[in-house]
């Protein structure tokens, strides 16, 4: 059985997975948002919690912000606070799905005034990027319709392009626009950006600094996500991942929880396509910890990504290619399965210790007393959640 080589471990040491600030706030379903002790009350406390994940894993060097949930008066101070805690501020995520004006669309709305409002929100996000040093503006649009005939499907695509053009024109230097897609919800008949193809068409029309964001939970059941990963890498348009897991819909569960083999297959294509540790392909989590504690949930997720990356590295490329060329279906599949079924955890635990990290990051966090301390200290005030 293959084992991880020093080169493999050196590559893994470079891996970084951005954490979403909102994963540390309260979240839930359409029916209930659950409050938990120790939940952050402001962006500073969210960043402190994210830094704790990085402290025990060395896998989470940056934190994504969500505007307006993470608005502060002084973004330079927030950036300094993050750096003092050993992390950087990363992707800025816009929000055009919680304002009454956006009931029937934001960037696609029939009303030019509402479109202007949505565009201006994104320009504000870019101003924040200027202050935080962030590279990426990530846009997810909760726009679409519920009934046939309700909306002008083509007109909405045209208006979306025009709105995105204005946002894209404001970007400077190395800044990028990353457009996410989602096949349904909250609209159910049609979604304006439902799939990777629509996202690709829109960003390709903008320019080279417009990319596609692939959320692993935003696909219909049975979708071959690794094929999409391959295609976007092939086209040079895979800008970022939102890693999470799903059973039925956009569940936003711990990545790898529902289908570890799918995560393995995705990461194999990432490695094969040159996307691993590629600065142009950002790895980020997008999760909501509804019933589990937030920080351990993020620790579990980044470790799952690391472990499946390690397993994907063990695929014997020469043996796989030989089997493919000879038409040996079972041998080719066996190469994949041998790598997937290799237990890399003992090797990774020893490697962490050699780097001065906890062999078991989860156990180290639980023993640190941090959870108990924040539950005792964060009493009073308003806990952060989907609306703050």
- Cβ–Cβ < 8 Å for 109, 115: yes
Q: Domains in the chain, start-ordered, CATH in brackets? A: 14-313+368-377 (3.20.20.150)
Nearest to 243 by CA among 233, 253, 235, 234: 253
User: What is the rounded radius of gyration, in angstroms, for the C-alpha atoms of the chain?
Assistant: 21
Mean pLDDT by 10 residues, the chain (388 residues): 89 98 88 90 98 98 98 98 98 97 98 98 98 98 98 98 98 97 96 98 98 97 97 98 95 96 98 98 95 96 98 98 98 98 98 98 98 96 80
**What is the per-residue pLDDT for 212?**
99
Residue 249 burial (CB count, 10 A)? 14
What pLDDT is attached to residue 367?
A: 98
3-state secondary structure of 102: helix
Q: Which tokens hold the place of 370?
A: 């941090």
Say how many C-beta atoms besides its own lie within 10 A of residue 317's C-beta: 11
Structure tokens at 7: 């080169």
Predicted local confidence at residue 147, as pLDDT: 98
For residues 110 and 154, is the Cβ–Cβ distance under 8 A?
A: no
Q: Look-up: residue for tokens 């499946």?
A: 308
Would you state the pLDDT for residue 387? 63
For residue 94, give the DSSP letter.
Answer: P
**Given this model, what pLDDT does residue 388 score?**
54
Alpha carbons 195 and 34: distance in angstroms, whole number: 31
pLDDT in tens, 31-56: 888 889 999 999 999 999 999 999 99
CA distance 77 to 54: 20
């Amino acid at each position: 059985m293959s084992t991880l080589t020093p080169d493999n471990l050196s590559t893994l040491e470079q891996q970084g997975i951005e954490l979403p600030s909102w994963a540390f706030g309260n979240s839930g379903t359409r029916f209930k948002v659950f409050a938990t002790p120790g939940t952050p009350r402001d962006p500073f406390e969210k960043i402190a919690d994210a830094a704790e994940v990085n402290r025990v894993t060395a896998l989470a060097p940056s934190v994504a912000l969500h505007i307006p949930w993470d608005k502060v008066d002084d973004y330079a101070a927030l950036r300094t606070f993050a750096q003092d805690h050993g992390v950087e501020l990363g992707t800025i995520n816009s929000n055009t799905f919680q304002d009454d004006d956006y009931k029937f669309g934001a960037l696609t709305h029939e009303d030019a005034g509402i479109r202007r409002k949505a565009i201006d929100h994104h320009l504000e996000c870019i101003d924040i990027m200027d202050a935080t040093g962030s590279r990426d503006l990530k846009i997810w649009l909760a726009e679409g319709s519920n009934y046939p005939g309700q909306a002008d499907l083509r007109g909405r695509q045209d208006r979306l392009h025009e709105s995105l053009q204005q946002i894209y024109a404001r970007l400077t230097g190395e800044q990028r626009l990353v457009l996410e897609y989602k096949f349904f919800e909250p609209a159910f008949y049609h979604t304006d950006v439902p799939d990777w193809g629509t996202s690709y068409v829109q960003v390709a029309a903008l320019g080279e600094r417009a990319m596609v964001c692939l959320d692993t939970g935003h696909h219909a059941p049975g979708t071959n996500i690794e094929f999409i990963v391959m295609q976007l890498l092939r086209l040079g348009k895979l800008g970022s991942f939102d890693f999470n897991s799903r059973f039925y819909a956009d569940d936003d569960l711990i990545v790898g929880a529902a289908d570890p083999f799918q995560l393995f297959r995705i990461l194999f294509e990432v490695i094969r396509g040159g996307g691993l540790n590629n600065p142009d392909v950002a790895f980020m989590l997008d999760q909501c910890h509804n019933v589990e504690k937030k920080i351990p949930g993020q620790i579990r997720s980044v470790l799952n990504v690391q472990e499946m990356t390690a397993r994907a590295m063990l695929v014997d490329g020469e043996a796989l290619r030989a089997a493919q060329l000879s038409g040996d279906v079972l041998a080719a599949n066996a190469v994949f399965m041998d790598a997937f079924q290799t237990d890399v955890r003992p090797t990774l635990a020893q490697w962490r210790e050699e780097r001065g990290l906890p062999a078991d990051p989860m156990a180290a966090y639980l023993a640190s007393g941090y959870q108990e301390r924040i539950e005792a200290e964060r009493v009073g005030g308003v806990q952060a959640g989907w609306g703050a």
